[in-house]
Amino acid sequence: MNLLRPTLLALACLALPAGASDLPSLGDASSSIVSPEQEHRLGRAWLSVLRGQIDQLSDPQLKDYVETSVYRLAETSQLEDRRLEFVLLNSPQINAFAAPGGIVGVNGGLLLHAQTEGEYASVMAHELAHLSQRHFARGVEAQQRMQVPVMAAMLAGIVAAAAGAGDAGIATIMGAQAAAIQEQRRFSRQNEQEADRIGLLNLEKAGYDPRAMPSMFERLMRQYRYDSKPPEFLLTHPVTESRIADTRNRAEQYPSQGISDSLGYQLMRARTQLMFEETPGIAAKRFRAMLDSNPRLEAAHYGLAIAHIKGGRLAEARSELNALLTKKPNDLTYNLAMIELDSAANRLSDAQQRIERVRSLYPDSYPLEQARIDLLLKQNQTKEAEVALDQLLKQRSNDPDVWYQVAEVRGLTRNIIGLHQARAEFFALVGDYDQALEQLDLAKRRASSNFPLASRIDARQQELMEEKRALDKMMR
């Protein structure tokens, strides 16, 4: 795996990107160096490189939950530009981040460690606050203001050393560097405090209990107090006693009400727990142990059913799901699990009937539409699956998982030009522009006798070439 190059990695750390001093002065007074539109372009470029180098979670239900929950928080946040893009990392380590331009990243480990929806939402509200307060652009400005005095001090040290001052000159240089580092840390602490304050406000507006934020911080501090290598989240978001006390004092000023947890969140936690267990059998033991403590725990019954499906114990899975659906026949998550079970049991007509019934209740559900496409493919209805995927692209045109499947299905239907176009979009989304341009070359050759189509492919190729040039410039 190649390492992210310095400029783009710096975006994730909200640090100064190379060449920032060359950026034009656009936008409002708080963004005289980096405009919102520049942040947007920088963020999308960074995301494409990141996607090409990390293992992602592609589970439609988990993706849909994260996207829906964050958009819900964004609606009541101070975020003005709500063009968000998401990346879910296949890692059990707790982490979440917000990069310039509306990029929101979540490790699967966040759902493992955040015990309630409120705790999970508190982390995401904090990350959205980094975006709404434009901490990246402000960080660039802070470093720009520091640059002249720091460089002057370092120059004085170099001159002193050259003039024979020896250790005194070296001390001046080291002192200037230390001052710069300290100023960066001070600005980072200010950003964290501001993100906590804005995040608490957003939690309350979105209907959550703000007390979930100090609760999450306390849990993390207890869990990793003596850990020699704390998770990335605690390295980039250091938790201290004073920070916990500050967030708790602020949270106590809000009314004691709001959402603290939900069944929907616990169902997604169960899915996530299963993803990171070594085997379905070990996961089943975990969920049985939870049920021994609380037999009425719906999320554990659901997790046990999914573990049984993965482990091939279909009759036991059906028993669990039938009990859940008897209580809640229209629950989307339980119906999706039964569709998965019927498909695994080759009861395809039962799965199809269930999909059609549930689609009338949830016509815009991405996980349900993905389940329908998967079933069409299992029924060898590839043309119908291709049509359904084309419709899905209207909602998820920036989802590399969808483009990957589109390419696969177009290959099955012998739509070779479309296959190359889909591969090009997939490669562009994961930052491999050379492969993307090569795929469009192949598509253009096959479309040479169709002038309108060839022209559209050529226009797209020109767009990707421009994106590649911009990315290469940022990575130098």
CB 287 within 8 A of CB 303: yes
> How would you label 73-99 residue by residue, b for 16+ Cβ within 10 Å and e otherwise?
bbebbebeeeebbbbbbebbebbbbbb
Prediction pTM value: 0.83
Can you read off the two tokens belonging to residue 302?
A: 């659901």
Using left for φ > 0, alpha for ψ between -120 and 50, and beta otherwise, residue 259 falls in beta
Consult the annotation and say whether 277 binds a ligand.
no
- Of 59, 119, 141, 196, catalytic: 196
List of long-range contacts for 316-325, beta carbons under 8 Å, 24+ apart? 317/341, 324/298
CA 132 to chain centre: 17
pLDDT one digit per residue (tens) for the chain, 476 residues: 444 444 444 444 433 333 333 333 323 444 455 677 777 777 788 788 889 888 999 999 999 999 999 999 999 988 887 889 999 999 999 989 888 778 899 999 999 999 999 999 999 999 998 887 765 555 555 555 444 454 445 445 544 444 445 555 555 545 544 544 444 444 466 778 888 899 999 999 999 999 999 999 999 888 888 777 788 788 777 888 988 999 999 999 998 789 999 999 999 999 999 999 999 999 999 999 999 999 999 999 999 999 999 999 999 999 999 999 999 999 999 999 999 999 999 999 999 999 999 999 999 999 999 999 999 999 999 999 999 999 999 999 999 999 999 999 999 999 999 999 999 999 999 999 999 999 999 999 999 999 999 999 999 999 999 988 887 776 66
Write down the catalytic residue from 59, 117, 127, 209. 127
| Residue spans per domain, the chain | 33-162+186-252, 277-364, 380-475
- Is 130 part of any known ligand binding site? yes
Interior CA angle at 432 toward 430 and 436, to 5°? 105
Q: What is the CATH number of domain 277-364?
A: 1.25.40.10
386 is in an annotated binding site: no
Identical fold between 277-364 and 380-475: yes
**In this structure, which amino acid lies at residue 163?**
A
Mode of pairing for the β-strands spanning 96-99 and 103-107: antiparallel
β 103-107/85-89 pair status: parallel
Q: H-helix or E-strand containing 115?
A: none
Residue among 175, 178, 143, 137 nearest 156 (CA): 175
350 part of the active site: no
Q: Supply the CATH classification number for the domain 380-475.
A: 1.25.40
> Residue 127 catalytic?
yes
